[in-house]
């Protein structure tokens, strides 16, 4: 199994915290988010590390990792970044955003979910975490609806009705061999279908979010399974997210995210 970490995006809002470096290099107790991610994946048995770089690529150096470059990171989004590493999309693959940090239980929940080509980590206790980040937890929530078997029916719609929020996507996906094949074959199909024009939810395919891609797969009958987690993750979307985490570290509320292999 390998992990592909998507680290191409810019981090313009973080200013002095990064001084022109990628967001994944934000530090917690002197160690970057990226280093902590990789240490956790290795602790969970994943030694094969692939990183998609884009903004300030020379800043990211990880011994033993393989790199791909999204040179169009300013004009594209997560789906495009992932398929810059298309040669790696075979066999068992974990896909992770570079600006999240999970604990071992959350990664383990995804890795232990067997028998599904595509598995997505879903925080079913999301409201507690979002409530600590935003004045109104639902103001930042996206739709996520599952059926009784745990397969996802709807994902990624902004401003959903509250009954369409059963959890939140966190940016962690696992593919088995069949799932990787489905990702590649549908990506190629969507490239042809989009023709460079508006593709889904008002966005071009080049600007597609990963949740757009997942919903497009679901709409075509592809099964995507939700692996439930219970908090167990941190997102660094804004400077306030980072500042809150630094405060939580001081009070030892999140010690499990600070352990290194």
The answer for 79, left when phi > 0, alpha when psi is -120 to 50, beta otherwise, is alpha
What span, in angstroms and rounded, lies between the C-alpha atoms of 18 and 96?
21
Contact 190, 216 (CB under 8 A): yes
Q: Determine if residue 199 is left, alpha or beta; phi over 0 gives left, psi from -120 to 50 gives alpha, anything else beta.
A: alpha
Sorted by sequence, the CB contacts under 8 Å of residue 46 that are 6+ apart come out as: 1, 2, 3, 94
Contacts 24+ apart (CB under 8 A), 66-71: 69/8, 70/8
Q: Which residues in 131-165 are b (16+ Cβ under 10 Å) and which e? A: eeeeeebeeebbbbbbeeebebebbbbeebeeeeb
pLDDT in tens, 149-181: 999 999 999 999 999 999 999 999 999 999 999
What CATH number does domain 2-257 carry, 1.10.3720.10, 3.40.1350.10, 3.30.590.10, 3.90.550.10? 3.90.550.10
Report strand pairing: 93-97 vs 31-32: unpaired
Q: Give pTM, 2 decimals.
A: 0.96
What distance in Å separates the CA atoms of residue 98 and residue 119, rounded to the nearest whole number? 18
* Domain boundaries, given as residue ranges, for the chain: 2-257
pLDDT tens-digit profile, the chain (261 residues): 999 999 999 988 898 899 899 999 999 999 999 999 999 999 999 999 999 999 999 999 999 999 999 999 999 999 999 999 999 999 999 999 999 999 999 999 999 999 999 999 999 999 999 999 999 999 999 999 999 999 999 999 999 999 999 999 999 999 999 999 999 999 999 999 887 778 999 999 999 999 999 999 999 999 999 999 999 999 999 999 999 999 988 877 777 776 664
Share of the chain above pLDDT 70, in %: 98
């Amino acid at each position: 199994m390998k992990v592909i970490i998507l680290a191409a995006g810019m981090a313009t809002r973080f200013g002095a915290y990064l001084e022109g470096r990628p967001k994944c290099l934000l530090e917690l107790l002197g160690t970057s988010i990226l280093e902590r991610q990789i240490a956790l994946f290795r602790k969970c048995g994943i030694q094969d590390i692939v990183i998609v770089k884009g903004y300030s690529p020379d800043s990211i150096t990880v011994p033993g990792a393989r790199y791909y470059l999204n040179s169009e990171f300013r004009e594209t989004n997560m789906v495009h970044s992932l398929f810059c590493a298309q040669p790696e999309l075979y066999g068992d693959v974990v896909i992770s955003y570079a600006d999240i940090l999970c604990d071992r239980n959350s990664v383990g929940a995804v890795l232990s979910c067997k028998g599904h080509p595509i598995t997505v980590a879903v925080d079913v206790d999301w409201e507690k975490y979002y409530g600590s980040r935003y004045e109104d937890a639902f103001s930042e929530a996206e739709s996520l609806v599952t059926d009784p078997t745990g397969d996802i029916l709807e994902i990624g719609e902004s401003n959903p009705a509250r009954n369409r929020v059963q959890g939140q996507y966190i940016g962690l996906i696992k593919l088995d061999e069949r799932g990787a094949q489905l990702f590649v074959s549908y990506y190629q199909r969507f490239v042809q279908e989009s023709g460079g024009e508006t593709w889904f939810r008002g966005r071009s395919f080049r600007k597609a979010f990963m949740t757009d891609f997942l919903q497009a797969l679901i709409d075509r009958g592809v099964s995507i399974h939700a692996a439930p987690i219970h908090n167990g993750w941190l997102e660094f979307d804004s400077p306030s997210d980072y500042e809150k985490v630094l405060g939580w570290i001081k009070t030892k509320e999140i010690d499990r995210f600070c352990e290194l292999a």
